[in-house]
Each structure stands twice: as C-alpha cells, then as structure tokens.
Amino acid sequence: MKLIIIAWRNLWRKPWRTVITSGSIFFGVLLSAFMTSMQYGSYESMISNVVKFYSGYLQLFTEEYHENKTINNTFILNDSIKSILDNEKGITHYTKRLEYFSLASSDEITKGSVIIGVDPSGENEVTGLKKWVKEGTYLDNNSNGVLVATDLAKYLQVGVGDTIVLYGQGYHGVMAAGVYPIKGILKFPSPELNKQFIYMTLNESQELFSAQNRLSSIVIMVEDNYHLPPVLKNLKREIKSPYMIRSWAELQPELVQMIDGDRAGGYFMKSLLYIIITFGILGTILMMVSERKRELGVMIAIGLQRSKLSIILFFETLFIGIIGAITGLAVSIPICYYYFKNPIPLTGDAASTMVNMGIEPFMYFSMQPDVFYTQAFIVFIITILISIYPVVKSYTLGLTSSLRA
C-alpha cells in the first residue's frame, strides 16, 4: 500500500540519521544477543556439568532417603516404577545407583570416601563415566575391581593393580568390608569429584553393604534442560509416595541461585542498554515529526485522514526498529554460532576458579532460539512504545498552526 511506501521513502530523506538510529538498535541487539548467548551458554555448561558428571537431570529415590541419605533408606525397584520410567517418552536413559559412605584404606592411609555402585554400561550412557578413566580399564560386570578418583588415589598412594580395603557400615548395621583390586583411575574435570569417589559395579556394592537388590537412587536423563519440564511434570504426577522425584535444580539449589543471580545482573545491564537506545530513537522520532509539521498539515488539508497519517508515522518508527533488529540478528546469529561451535578457552585465574568449581574452563555460547527472538521482541516493544508519540501527534496536530509554520 502507498502509505507504507511513503513511510519507507521518508526514512531515506535523511539516510544518515536513519542509519545511525537503526545502528544504535543494531548494536543494542548485537551486544544483548551476544551477552545473552554467553550467559545462557555458561548456564547450560554449568548445568550440564552438574547433570552429566553426576546428578543427572532427575533422580528418583525414597522420601526417607531424601531426608536422610543412609543405606537403610534405600529401596528395591518394583515393576510399577520401572514401567512408569520405561513408558515416559522424554527419558533418554536411566541408570541405577547404590551410594554410601565408607572408609578406604591402603597400607597405611585411610580416608572417608563415597562408594558408588553403578551399572557400568548404564552409567556410561548417562554420565559418560568411561571417558574419565585416565589409567587402567573401565568397570565390567564380569570382573571385580574398583575405579578410584585420581586425587583420592594419590592421597592413598595407590595405583592400578594395587588393592584397597573398604570398610564401614552396611544395611541395618551389618559390618561392611571388602578388599578390591584397583582397575582404573578416574580423572574428572571437577576437583570435588576427584577427592572422594570410588566406583564399583552395582552388584559388588550391594554385596559390600549387604543390601541385595537395593538402590539409593535412579538417575534419569532427558535430551537437555529445555526438555526437562514436561518430563518432570509427568513423573511428579505419576511417582507416588514413598517414592519421589527431584530435578537437578531441586538437588542443587545453590547452582540455581547462582544462575538466577547472574541472570538478574544480565537483565539489569540489558535493560540499561535498551533504555538508552529507546531515548536515542525517541529523539530521532521527535525530530522527524516536528521538522515536518507543515508537510503533515498539508497532507491532512488535502484529504489524508489522521488515521492514515498515523499509519505512515507508525511505519517510519517500525521500519527503524526492524532494520536495526534484522541487521543486529543477522550479524549476531553467525557470531554466536561460531562461538557456539568453538567455545573460547579460558586461561589464568578465571580458568582455575572454574576448574575448582567443577566447570570446564571454556566460555560457552548458546544457540537457544529465545536468545535471539527475545531481542527482536524487545525492539518491537520499544518501537511500539515510541510510536505512541507520532501516532498521538497525528491526531492532535493543529492544522492552521502547522500550515502557517
């Protein structure tokens, strides 16, 4: 329609002004998308670190175990729970664990450690445990032996082929003790994990703790965090007392808090950025209207309804926003994609802090669609808000005064 053509041409009467105004949106979108992509990327990596190294996206255990993580509160997997898990489509894998504390001793040294009994192939599918085997071989169901985390092994001064003694309490207070050859050494990217973990097969752990067929938890995986909510909702509905289901976020509230805090900081920065941009555009629009009063008056005089005039002015504002948003996205999407594919390696203090926190020292980027469409949406809202001015003006413009101008 002609009105829109007029609006478009009006933009290019002062091309530089339009370029600069749209340019401010361009940079706003670029900066904001880049920042958001980086934030989301780092959250995603933190979450997947936690989830994929250890906790899984979801865990199933008993309500007593949730209160008190002792061997006495473990459970035996029954068919009804198993069928719920098998029938939930969003679940990609699940695996069983039996976990408890025990003392680990070499010849002279003893240290508290966490024993994790796992199904070797299931655990590997869920947490990729096998890839952290630095020396020796991974667990298998046919031979006995344990995997010891690297820092713990160093502390105990043991290596592959040595034996360690585990002893502690088993199910219902039974004495738990056993001697195990070390099959392999695990080196995780997280120091926390490296200090305390010993892995063995589920069967062996059940034997060690005299807890036949018992499990402390089932670790459940979904595609990624964005696929979690529906699965969580279904399982929470279907899994009934005495069992319960917990998401990684419920299991790791500190991580959620940290992410939320960081997100709030990001919102603040981005709001500030967009507010500055809003005033910049508003300035341009004020000028575009006030310097054309006479022209607008003439248009109304010769028969252009004010509603149609407001369409012209609205589209002028909208176009400025659209140009800025589209160019901003056109540039930020490939940049973010590049860094999504090639995360930026970090060095120095930042990197070691991250390693200490159990996070791989890379700056990750996210390609979640909402990183980008949020920017477009914000620009759209800003444009709509700003266009209130010219739209109101087209209804209130005094005819005779603008014609005499």
Residues that bind another protein (CB under 8 A): 2, 6, 9-10, 13, 294-295, 298-306, 308, 399-400, 403-404
Q: Which is nearer to another protein, 255 or 299 (CB)?
A: 299
Q: Which is nearer to another protein, 19 or 239 (CB)?
A: 19
Distance (Å, whole) CA 171 – CA 395? 81
User: How crowded is residue 385: how many other Cβ atoms within 10 Å of its Cβ?
Assistant: 13
CB neighbour list of residue 183: distance below 8 Å, 6 or more residues apart: 136, 137, 138, 139, 143, 145, 146, 147, 160
Residues written for the chain: 405
Q: Which is nearer to another protein, 165 or 403 (CB)?
A: 403
Q: How far is the CB of 294 from another protein (least distance, A)?
A: 6
Q: How far is the CB of 296 from another protein (least distance, A)?
A: 10
Q: How far is the CB of 17 from another protein (least distance, A)?
A: 15
Q: By CB neighbour count within 10 A (0-12 exposed, 13-18 middle, 19+ buried), where does 149 fall?
A: buried
Q: Which is nearer to another protein, 134 or 292 (CB)?
A: 292
Q: Which is nearer to another protein, 275 or 392 (CB)?
A: 392
Q: How far is the CB of 326 from another protein (least distance, A)?
A: 22
C-alpha distances out from residue 356 to 149, 155, 350, Å: 15, 18, 10
Token pair of 403, please?
């014609």
Distance (Å, whole) CA 200 – CA 364? 33
Distance (Å, whole) CA 361 – CA 352? 7
Q: How far is the CB of 402 from another protein (least distance, A)?
A: 10
List residues bridging with 114 in a β-sheet: 101, 197
Q: How far is the CB of 398 from another protein (least distance, A)?
A: 10
List residues bridging with 164 in a β-sheet: 180
Q: Which is nearer to another protein, 263 or 308 (CB)?
A: 308
What dihedral do alpha carbons 146, 147, 149, 153 form, nearest 10°? 60
